[in-house]
Amino acid sequence: MKAIHLHAALLAGALLAGCAKPSPTPASPPSASAAASAAPAAPAAPALTAAELDQALRDEWQRLGVTKVAPADDATFLRRVWLDLGGTIPPADVVTAFLADRDPQKRAKAVEGLLTSKQHADHLTDTWDRLLLGRQIRRNVVDRDAFRAWLRERFARNEPWNKLVYDLLVAEGRNTDKPESEMGEPTPAAEKASGLAVNGAVNYVLRFENPADLTGTTSRVFLGVQIQCAQCHDHKTEKWKQTQFESLAACFMQTKAVPLEKQAAGKKGTRTFEVRDVAEASARAGGKMQKGMKYPEYAKAAPAALDGTDLSRAEDRRKALAAWMTSKDNPWFADAIVNRTWGALLGHGFVDPVDDIRPGNPPVAEAVMKRLSRDFVEHGYDLRRLIALITSTEAYQLSSAPPSGPTPSETRGFARFRPRPLGPEALVDAMVAATGIDGMLERGGADVQTIKTQVRNQFSFLFDVDEESSNDDEFDGTIPQVLLQINGRLSNQGASVQQGGALAALLALPGDDAAKVRALYLRVLSREPRADEVERWVAFVNAPRTWVSTAPPPAAADAKGKAKGKGGAPPDPLARLEKRDKGAKKPAKAGDPKRQAWEDMLWTLLNSSEFLFNH
């Protein structure tokens, strides 16, 4: 096992070298330091290997007196990297091929395949879209699709992180690609517009209603520094002063959001804005202000970076700030992304919460974090390289078995993989993949993408995620979520035998019940069942039972009259699957009861913690 592991690590190193393409220089280098930080590392520093990280972690375990648990088996590893890198579970044929593969480097290869996949770019897009725009946004101001497209393009070509962040922070241009014909009445400001091209990244600035929120989020997300508390008062335990917050906010006070079309009542869609930097700081800048709001305190403040670097002589403050933030000398920038990525993969950051880096919240295994950060900077801020390194460590490849030894703590030192519930996006995608409900919908001629988005929103709503919170523990499985899982249509219609779906296809295959149990396990749980499990399920599906037929539950809309005013649950996008099924109106004629036994099995797998957790 150990030999295999080391081989994989070496291979990962080789792949990594390939990943680290020379970083393109920013289109218009704002300063020498940003240009220098984006340059490829030459001469190459001794490349960091997983073996080196492993040794550092073992030292940490020894220091803490914790014992690592057993390594994860191949199936567990594959499911884990698919969820972490691809945002969903692996298809059954990928699982079988992986399990059969004798290549000692197959784990690193699987990671490499995922890192260059479309799914990975989509998954990173989902993650950063959520972090940067939040789950709920002002759709009449923000074009989420344009923002996502901007992100996706960059993640797909593995844009160096410093360049991506720089370009995001300094973005100027129009927020949405709306044809002339659909534009509303132009505003007076539109005449003076600079005619800048569409740039999806400007939606980041537009998302904010004031410069304070823009400043706070930018610092928290990209630097891991929570300076927003200093908005109202000096920070009590850390060094941040209110004046420092104002100086940082001042860097955004040349950034204006200019509406190009008037607000038209009742008009749907996103209004066109142009985001651009003007010569003088303004009290109405740094976000899409609400009517009448002004922020003279920030406009008047002297612009400075968090470490006190004076930016007041900069012609363009925002560019100067972005250059400082993404510079290789910035003390937080690399740590912040390394810590966030480690936290996303291991379930717990070196510093946790992942966006709260400060002396009062010291990191666990600091040496490992610092080593990763250095490597990240030296190798061109290459996200793929970073992820490949982390996933090749022993810590990432440990199982989620109960911790042994005298220390009761479950997470300290990463001596065990910490199971975590799937978030709403991954859960919906995994359930769709497991049930083939998209196939059922396609058969009915439905717009699958739209429905999938609606179902994701439905889940996100019930998961009730606090978007300011960086803690994935918020996805915790409360009663409303569990009721959705027990009675909702995604699990029930998904688990039904319908043309186009997983179960219908599987039952049509030749083979005995044991083969079908095996196929279902591979599809849903991404592993082979053990012998006792096969035996248990074969007995389950063959137990005597009668066909059950009941009417569908009342549609959500029925309850609407009872609650006054707006609100109430929107209609369920998956209700159409019941309508299509002819039996919905009148009691269906009895079918084969065994069919329902298989449905019950699939429902049970979908409701199992093994499915609902990344472990």
Partner 1 sequence: MTHHLVSRRSLLVASGSGLAGALASRLFSPSVALAASPPRAKACIVLWLNGGPSHIDTFDPKPGQPTGGPFKAIKTRARTYELSEHLPGVAEVADKISLLRMTSKEGNHQRARYLVHTGYAPNPTVVHPSLGGWVSHELGDKSAELPQFVSVGGPAPGAGFLGVQHGPFTIQKAGAPPANLTLARNVDDKRLDGRLGALAAMEGDFERRTGDPQVIGRRRVYEQSVRLMRSPRTKLFDLSDEPERTVKLYGDSDFGRGCLLARRLVEGGTRLVEVVLDGWDTHKDGFERGKRLSAALDGGFSGLVRDLADRKLLDSTLVVCMGEFGRTPKINGDEGRDHYPQVWTAALAGGGVRGGVAHGKSDAAGAKIVESPTSVPDLCATVFTALGVAPDKGLSTPSGRPIAVTDGGSPVRAVLA
Restricted to residues 355-384, the positions that interact with partner 1 (CB under 8 A) are 356, 361
Which phi and psi (to 5°) does residue 308 adopt? Answer: 95, -5
Q: By CB under 8 A, how many residues form the interface with partner 1?
A: 84
Per CB under 8 A, 586 contacts partner 1:
no
Q: Which of 150, 268, 291, 142 is nearest to 206 (CA)?
A: 142
The C-alpha atoms of residue 317 and residue 308 are separated, in whole angstroms, by: 14
Token pair of 336 as six digits: 């912040």
Tell me the C-alpha to C-alpha distance, in Å, between residue 17 and each of 13, 314, 338, 385. Answer: 6, 37, 18, 8
Q: Which stretch binds partner 1 (CB under 8 A): 83-91, 108-116, 326-334, 472-480?
A: 472-480
Instruction: Please name the helix (run of DSSP H) or strand (run of DSSP E) that holds residue 81, with its range, or none.
Output: helix 74-81
Q: Which CB sits closer to partner 1, 380 or 494? A: 494
Per CB under 8 A, 605 contacts partner 1:
yes
Q: What's the DSSP call for residue 22?
A: P
Q: Which CB sits closer to partner 1, 169 or 434? A: 434
Q: Which CB sits closer to partner 1, 192 or 566? A: 566
Per CB under 8 A, 466 contacts partner 1:
yes
Per CB under 8 A, 613 contacts partner 1:
yes
- Supply angle C-alpha 140, 562, 560, rounded to 5: 40
Give yes or no for a contact between 213 and 137, defined as CB atoms under 8 angstroms apart.
no
Q: Which of 254, 384, 382, 371 is nearest to 322 (CA)?
A: 254
With a CB cutoff of 8 Å and minimum separation 6, the contacts of 363 are 339, 349, 350, 351, 357, 369
From the CB of 84, what's the least distance to partner 1, in Å? 17
Per CB under 8 A, 569 contacts partner 1:
yes
Instruction: Please name the helix (run of DSSP H) or strand (run of DSSP E) that holds residue 57, with its range, or none.
Output: helix 50-64
Q: Which amino acid is at 228?
A: Q
Residues 232-291 that bind partner 1 (CB under 8 A): 232-233, 236, 290
Residues 493-552 that bind partner 1 (CB under 8 A): 493, 496, 536, 540, 545, 548-552
Residues 394-413 that bind partner 1 (CB under 8 A): 400-403, 408-410, 412
The C-alpha atoms of residue 423 and residue 477 are separated, in whole angstroms, by: 10
From the CB of 565, what's the least distance to partner 1, in Å? 7
Query: 173-174 and 273-277 as β-strands: parallel, antiparallel, unpaired?
Result: antiparallel
Per CB under 8 A, 33 contacts partner 1:
no
The C-alpha atoms of residue 417 and residue 403 are separated, in whole angstroms, by: 9
The C-alpha atoms of residue 12 and residue 458 are separated, in whole angstroms, by: 39
Q: What's the DSSP call for residue 395?
A: T
Per CB under 8 A, 213 contacts partner 1:
no
Binding partner 1 (rule: CB under 8 A), the pick from 46, 266, 544, 565 is 565
Q: Which amino acid is at 336?
A: A
Binding partner 1 (rule: CB under 8 A), the pick from 102, 562, 582, 589 is 562
Per CB under 8 A, 73 contacts partner 1:
no
Q: Which CB sits closer to partner 1, 72 or 320? A: 72
Per CB under 8 A, 567 contacts partner 1:
yes
Torsion of CA 439, 443, 446, 447, to 10 degrees: 50
From the CB of 112, what's the least distance to partner 1, in Å? 29
Per CB under 8 A, 478 contacts partner 1:
yes
Per CB under 8 A, 156 contacts partner 1:
no
Per CB under 8 A, 442 contacts partner 1:
no
Per CB under 8 A, 42 contacts partner 1:
no
Per CB under 8 A, 483 contacts partner 1:
yes
Per CB under 8 A, 564 contacts partner 1:
yes
| CB-neighbour burial class of residue 138 (10 A; exposed 0-12, middle 13-18, buried 19+) | middle
From the CB of 96, what's the least distance to partner 1, in Å? 22
Q: Which stretch binds partner 1 (CB under 8 A): 47-55, 190-198, 263-271, 473-481?
A: 473-481
Per CB under 8 A, 462 contacts partner 1:
yes
Per CB under 8 A, 2 contacts partner 1:
no
